Amino acid sequence: MTNHQYDYVVIGSGFGGSVSALRLSEKGYRVLVVEKGGRKSPDDFPRTNWDVRRWMWMPEVGARGIFRMTFLPHVTAVSGVGVGGGSLVYANTLPMPTRGFYEAPIWSGLAHWAEELAPHYATAKRMLGATENKIMTHTDEVTRQVGRDLGFHDFRPSTVAVYFGEAGRTVPDPYFGGEGPDRTGCIGCGACMIGCRHGAKNTLDKNYLYLAERRGARVEADTEVTWVRPLGGGGYVVEARTGTSTLAFRNEARSFTTRGVIFAGGVLGTVQLMLRLKQSPDGLPMLSDHLGDTVRTNSEVLMGIVSRRSDRDLSKGIAIGSILHTGDDSHVEPVRYPAGSGFFRMLTIPHVVGSSMPERLASSVTTFFRNPLGFLRAATVPDWAKQTMILLYMKAADGQLRLKLGRGLRRGGPLFAGLTSELSEGEAPKAFLPEADELAERYAEHLDAVPQSMFTETLMGTPTTAHILGGARMGEGRAQGVIDHKHGVFGYDDMYVIDGAAVSANPGVNPSLTICALAERAMSFIPQRGHSTPSK
């Protein structure tokens, strides 16, 4: 181990990477975490999502925020960037997956998942400060009422990673015996998904990653990994560029030697990089041919329910305060952005359904002329966030995609350039589901509102997801998967995939807690430094 600069280089600082960094540091390993996004202080977050430079991740034009949109042929994927990864932008929710997740045939024979993950879910909840939402709002009550209207009674406050305490009051670390940072009670401003400026959101830089750094882990922010190659005598060289220039070649070229590598850059980051490495003899050519397969979403439908009434402020509360289960494998959640955050107004048009673009366009025009004043009022509300509830519907359907490299990728080129998708198995993710349409109509009645959808959904039928998963699935060997059930990469020693790409079945809910639990389990198999590494 002493022949290398580090024992482990962790690529990415999200839910898988941060857990790995802490547990490896606790076991005495020298750990480097490489994160392409920046380290954010509370003042670095935008006040509204109109501050695109601070909110959006588009480094090519100088925007180095925390929110990224990736447009693929079959889905528009949103993800987080920065020290703390997706925890910076997710809606705090920590639900448990459905039973079908553990029993899915694709991986059920590899381990007793429900039994083995149970203690790791408990640890992850404790580390993330999971608690029941304590700020119930009008949209939560409307959700309860919609459930009653439709005969669904399994309504409950969300389990969230938020410190409530006394609103606005800062106290010493309430989670880790004083070892963690000070925390401030949630004020219910609704800004969870554009970056919490008040210290109430339990992001990874306040728990796992914070404690990892106290134990010696090093975090290199604004550093993007461009290549990984094996060393002849064992271990790896990790090449990267550090800097914030809009021109990648102007950023500082660096390299690190390490005994082991953990890919934890999220599905889009990990699969993209590994696909590039697989195609080169100077990279990782022995990676499984299944790399990029079995990519799935939670079959989400997202709609903006824009109220024509201005007497209620729908922006107050936490990002997601409640959940209504509409079946064994489906649910709906009311979502919000903070006051003034109307960026998505520019990307939405009236929600309509149809089997083709011409049909949807015709339906959109017809729908508009049935109630032009109503639609104009909804389109011109003074503050979109104050008068909009975002409907998030999820269903554990299991259509699968395959991610592939597009044209023009070169070693050292942009990490996300050229990624594309194709249908692999089952039905492609859908932008329209009848159950979601019925729920939207009910919400619209209660809120005197007009449903809207992303233009990519109405025009092209392409759904939006915040929960893209898979691409480095588990298997019994290289012929069946990319990694084993302990997350070890087939064909390479001391190499792991520990992020959403490794999630090999559909949890049917926000996967953040599940990624943490899987990471905790993966780290439990790695011995203390100085002991032999168990065979795969």
Q: What is the rounded CA–CA span in Å between residue 431 and residue 433?
A: 7
Got the DSSP string for 389-456?
Answer: EEEEEEE----EEEEEE-SS--TTS-SSTTEEEEEEESPPP-S--HHHHHHHHHHHHHHTEEEEEEHH
Looking at the DSSP assignment, which residues form a beta bridge with residue 83?
none
Q: Which two tokens stand for residue 453?
A: 């959808």
Instruction: Determine the pLDDT at residue 535.
Output: 46
Angle between helices 512-524 and 15-26 (to 10 degrees): 30
Residue 21: is its pLDDT beyond 60? yes
**Is residue 467 annotated as a catalytic residue, yes or no?**
yes
Average pLDDT of the chain is 92
**Structure pTM?**
0.94
Task: Give the chain's length.
Answer: 536
Looking at the DSSP assignment, which residues form a beta bridge with residue 142?
none
The answer to whether the Cα torsion of 518, 77, 318, 391 is positive or negative is negative
- Return the number of other C-beta atoms located less than 10 Å from residue 366's C-beta: 10
Any idea where the domains of the chain sit in the sequence?
A: 6-132+192-296+472-524, 301-465
Residue 232, judged by CB atoms within 10 A of its CB (0-12, 13-18, 19+), counts as exposed
How far is the first Cα of the chain from the last one, in angstroms, to the nearest whole number? 19
Kindly indicate the confidence band of residue 2, based on its pLDDT and cuts at 50, 70 and 90. Answer: low
Express each pLDDT in 306-345 by its tens digit.
Answer: 998 999 999 999 999 999 999 988 999 999 999 999 999 9
Kindly indicate the confidence band of residue 532, based on its pLDDT and cuts at 50, 70 and 90. Answer: low
Instruction: Determine the pLDDT at residue 492.
Output: 98
Helix (H, G, I), strand (E, B) or coil at 31: strand
Q: What percent of the chain has pLDDT over 90?
A: 77
Closest CA relative to residue 460, chosen from 116, 127, 73:
73
Q: Which of 335-339, 386-390, 392-396 has the lowest mean pLDDT?
A: 392-396
Express each pLDDT in 441-480 by its tens digit.
Answer: 999 999 999 998 888 887 788 889 999 999 999 999 999 9
Residue 246, judged by CB atoms within 10 A of its CB (0-12, 13-18, 19+), counts as middle
Looking at the DSSP assignment, which residues form a beta bridge with residue 71?
76
Kindly indicate the confidence band of residue 413, based on its pLDDT and cuts at 50, 70 and 90. Answer: very low
Radius of gyration of the chain measured on its C-alpha atoms: 22
CB 451 within 8 A of CB 305: yes
Residue 46: is its pLDDT beyond 80? yes
Helix (H, G, I), strand (E, B) or coil at 311: coil
Express each pLDDT in 352-385 by its tens digit.
Answer: 776 677 877 777 777 777 777 777 777 789 999 9
Which of the following is catalytic: 290, 467, 485, 487?
467
Express each pLDDT in 268-283 by its tens digit.
Answer: 999 999 999 999 999 9
Q: Which of 127-131, 168-172, 294-298, 333-337 has the lowest mean pLDDT?
A: 294-298
Angle between helices 512-524 and 113-128 (to 10 degrees): 110
The answer to whether the Cα torsion of 10, 208, 100, 332 is positive or negative is negative
Half-sphere exposure of 536 (CA within 13 A, CB side): 20
Of the two residues 416 and 69, the one the predictor is more confident about is: 69
CB 412 within 8 A of CB 280: no
Distance of CA 115 to the CA centre of its chain: 25
Residue 408: is its pLDDT beyond 70? no
CB 150 within 8 A of CB 278: no
For domain 6-132+192-296+472-524, the CATH superfamily is FAD/NAD(P)-binding domain (3.50.50.60)
Q: What is the rounded CA–CA span in Å between residue 359 and residue 346?
A: 22
What are the distances in angstroms from CA 20 to CA 204, 209, 239, 330? 12, 9, 20, 31
Express each pLDDT in 244-267 by its tens digit.
Answer: 998 888 999 999 999 999 999 999
Could you identify the residue written with the tokens 């991740």? 57
Range 43-65 average pLDDT: 96
Dihedrals φ, ψ of 303, to 5°?
-140, 140
Could you identify the residue written with the tokens 């910076």? 88
Q: What is the rounded CA–CA span in Å between residue 370 and residue 99?
A: 44
Angle between helices 138-150 and 434-447 (to 10 degrees): 120
Half-sphere exposure of 180 (CA within 13 A, CB side): 22
